[in-house]
Amino acid sequence: MSPFPYRLVATDLDGTLLRPDETVSRRTRDALAGATEAGAAHIVVTGRSVPWTRHILEDLGYEGLAVCGQGAQVYHAGEHRLLTSVTLDRQLAGLALAKLEAEVGPLALAASRDGLDGEVLVGAGYRVQDGPLPYLPLDDVAQLWSAPLNKVYIQHPELDDDALAATARRVVGGLVDVVMAGAGVVELLPLGLTKATGLSLAARRLGVKAAETIAFGDMPNDIPMFAWARHGVAMANAHDDLKSVADEVTAASDEDGIALTLERLLSR
């Protein structure tokens, strides 16, 4: 049997490692354990901030590094501490929102505050996905700027996610980065920040190179991670933009796509 060909397995969470009910199957857990027993590290790379990720890591018994907040946070799960954290320039973000609303009209807003316990603030009209993730209502938009932020979420009453993200890139792409991270999730980030930014920092701490990395994802915000890694695997349920740059497409997140790929590699 040939050795496992990668030293790092990077997995997105939503739509990738997680099934629709936000659980990880036993088969996928076993496949990841097999990869780690073969000498590879596993790093979760997610758009979620640490407070929205921690319970999943605890359920997995995960004690290594995790990349959260679209690359803004490198979190040591075993030590419960942030190793790096990048915040959004609030003055630039406010200018970007003003310019974008001048173009498309009023937006529904939410924001993720920085830190291990940073709250997610949700404004009027913002559609929150069903589930257990905690958030605070945003009664006054001025509250948005009262503490350091990792990101701002935007929604539009008429434009779909792709159209909103494309318009935002055109109008304010020189001020902030814009990513589409899931259904109803378009985000404004610090300029130049991507999942690849955080993943490269985490990999460096582990002494692992991009050429030794396989990455799994499902949305356009995973494109930089695929560009950084040696091999990018899109889920069957992935956005077409990610599939177009993937090295391969595996089964959907609820059909153990990660496990299928890792089992194949482990059995060579």
pLDDT at 2: 60
Beta bridge partners of 182: 185
pLDDT at position 184 is 86
Q: What is the pLDDT of residue 57?
A: 95
What residues have CB less than 8 Å from 218, skipping those under 6 apart? 12, 14, 15, 16, 234, 235, 237, 238, 239, 242, 253
Which letter, b or e, does each residue of 123-138 get, where b requires 16 or more Cβ atoms within 10 Å of its Cβ? beebeeeeeeeebeeb
Each residue's pLDDT, cut to its tens digit, for the chain (268 residues) gives 568 999 999 999 999 999 999 999 999 999 999 999 999 999 999 999 999 999 999 999 999 999 999 999 999 999 999 999 999 999 999 999 999 999 999 999 999 999 999 999 999 899 987 666 788 898 888 888 999 999 999 999 999 999 999 999 999 999 999 999 988 899 999 999 999 999 999 999 999 999 999 999 999 999 999 999 999 999 999 999 999 999 999 999 999 999 999 999 999 7
- Give the type of residue at 257: G
Q: In 3-state terms, what secondary structure has residue 263?
A: helix
- The contacts of residue 39 (CB under 8 Å, 6+ apart) are 3, 4, 7
- What is the Cα–Cα distance from 221 to 139, expressed in whole angstroms? 29
* 3-class DSSP assignment, residue 225: helix
8-11 and 41-45 beta bridge pairing: parallel
Helix residue ranges per DSSP H, the chain: 26-37, 50-60, 90-104, 161-172, 195-206, 223-228, 240-243, 257-266
> Can you give the pTM of this predicted structure?
0.93
Distance CA 147, CA 50 (A): 16
Q: What angle do CA 84, 87, 91 make, to 5 degrees?
A: 160
Q: Name residue, tokens 């929205």.
A: 52
The rounded distance, in Å, linking the Cα atoms of 19 and 77 is: 22
> What's the token pair of residue 44?
């979760």
| Helix, strand, coil % over all residues of the chain, rounded to 5 | 40, 25, 35
Tell me, what's the pLDDT at 131? 64
SS3 category, 161: helix
Token representation of residue 202: 């985490």
**Bridge partners for 138 per DSSP:** 123
CA-based nearest residue to 126, from 147, 142, 107, 139: 107
pLDDT for res 16: 98
